[in-house]
Amino acid sequence: MQPVDWGSSEAATRAVGLTQFISFAIDDDQYGVDIMSVREIKGWSEITHLPKQPEYVRGVLNLRGIMVPIIDLRCRFGQGLTNATPVHIVIIVQVGSRQVGLLADRVLDIVSIDAAKIQAVPRIAQASRVDFLSGLVTVENAMIALIDLPNLLAVQVDDDEPAAAERKRTAAAPRR
């Protein structure tokens, strides 16, 4: 039997079955991301816009020499663009080998919950926005939607997108 290093928060979390996440708000809605994915939280600052990006990609931020794309969560969830001001925050998260910034209104808390209390997201329609969510949890009478970071960043090709239409035309054209 291996001794447990209780000084390690990961070991303590596994031992008691708790999951920790950072909760934050977009308007009155509460969301959460796994605390182990969060690298830092910073205030909104000017970013560099890039052409031909999805609308929810606001641009990039130079973070100590690393270009970090900034995702507007309000826009990604289909609620329009955020009018970012200095009171907004950017949560820098690690997704696989890359860092990404999530634009939100405000950070709320660090929440520890029993992983068994995370409930599945009801599937109402195919390819709906719930694919961005990994679960739901109720904390002190507030519902918090947990974000599935890899799915949040997955690019879905829309058939009415001009580039998709061009790819279809090119694929259907006879080859010489």
Per-10-residue mean pLDDT, the chain, length 176: 49 66 94 95 92 92 93 92 94 93 95 91 64 89 92 58 41 45
Residue 88 DSSP symbol: -
Neighbour tally for 86: CB within 10 Å = 8
Which CATH number do you get for residue 93? 2.40.50.180
Q: Is residue 165 included in any domain, yes or no?
A: yes
User: How many domains does one find in the chain?
Assistant: 1
Residue 2 domain-assigned?
no
pTM: 0.76
Q: Interior CA angle at 141 toward 138 and 147, to 5°?
A: 35
Q: Is residue 1 part of a domain?
A: no
What was the pLDDT predicted at 85? 92
Domain extent at residue 154: 9-172
| Confidence (pLDDT) at 23 | 96
Sheet with strand 18-26: strands edge to edge = 106-114, 18-26, 29-34, 142-147, 133-139
**Is 70 within the bounds of a domain?**
yes
CA distance 7 to 132: 33
Residue at 3 is within a domain: no
**Domain-located, residue 147:** yes
CB 118 within 8 A of CB 133: no
